[in-house]
Structure 1
Amino acid sequence: MTTKTHLIAAFALVIPLTLAPVAASADPGRLTVELNKFEEIDSGGCRAFFLFRNQTDTSFEGFEMSLAILDGNGVIDRLLSIDAAPLPVARTTLKLFEIPDTTCANISEILLHEVSSCKPQNEDEIDCFPILDLNSRAAAALVK
């Protein structure tokens, strides 16, 4: 090998190593929405317990979701808009929402229809879908 070939080979090995930390630091973190459990309520509805785990480096002053509630047959029963803000940075937040006029046992799935607001503190609205993770510990699935 010539000296020129050695330099090119050495340079090719250095580039991936120097770029790797930059790519890792560009990860914005994750925002996890978990349907944790259901609870029947006296008025004939269902109370849903959601955990929001903000593992990003940003607090959110606005976070609203539109959810489609599917019944036991998989048919959309209703749309429900929920406001989960504020979501502080590096915290888990518990939010309870009531789903009126339906029993918990009659909810087969909850579909995240859209995120109507995702506003970081003192910044413009952003698209949160790329940083969202959904999961469920309840009998119904929570899906995108």
Structure 2
Amino acid sequence: MRHILSRLAIGLAALPLCAVAATAQTGTLTVELNKFEPGETSGCRAFFLFRNKTGNSFEGFEMSLAILDQGGIIDQLLTIDAAPLPVARTTLKLFEIPQIGCDDISEVLLHDVGSCQPQNSDQIDCFPLLTLVSRTSAGLVK
């Protein structure tokens, strides 16, 4: 009987961790490329909105983006760190895209999420949670 109670106690202790992982896998995290404007010195400044409706805050969220020129050729790879992303909030982040004009960008490809870590939890695969939107002339795709 004691052995069964021990297993039950261990199982119940693990439930909060399972709940965090399950909650992180529900809802959506919308990444919106909201606008471009010329950078202060050169290049292009990108305004991103992150709408976190996953039920969890993220202490780690890093994206690797491929910036494609008007010919569809990859101009550069850019890694951006958007953390933290609080739960049930929309967060604005600005990123500089160096050495390319805003009008010269045809598409932004999200080719990898290097870090997606809910607060107080292990890394997860965020791709199923992501919805991508662009309000610019350039597409935002995965």
Per the TM superposition, whether the score is higher than 0.5 is yes
Aligned to 1:72: 70
CA distance in 2: counterparts of 1:57 and 1:51, whole angstroms: 17
Aligned to 2:122: 124
Aligned to 1:10: none
Instruction: Say whether 1:58 aligns with 2:30.
Output: no
Aligned to 2:6: none
Aligned to 1:88: 86
CA distance in 2: counterparts of 1:97 and 1:41, whole angstroms: 9
SS of equivalent to 2:47: strand
Alignment-mate amino acid for residue 103 of structure 1: G
Alignment root-mean-square deviation, CA: 1.4
Q: Deviations over 1:33-73 (max 9, x none)?
A: 00000001231210000000001110000000000000010
User: Of 110, 113, 116, which aligns to 1:112?
Assistant: 110
Q: Deviations over 1:63-115 (max 9, x none)?
A: 00000000010000000000000000000000000001110000000000100
Aligned to 1:19: none
Alignment-mate amino acid for residue 32 of structure 1: T
CA distance in 2: counterparts of 1:113 and 1:99, whole angstroms: 16
Of structures 1 and 2, the larger Rg is shown by 1
Alignment of 1:14-25 (within 5 A): none
Alignment identity in percent?
71
CA distance in 2: counterparts of 1:80 and 1:42, whole angstroms: 18
CA distance in 1: counterparts of 2:122 and 2:37, whole angstroms: 36
Instruction: Say whether 1:36 aligns with 2:34.
Output: yes
For structure 1, the residue ranges without an aligned partner over 5 or more in a row are: 1-24
SS of equivalent to 2:128: helix
Structure 1 stretches (4+) deviating beyond 6 angstroms? Answer: none
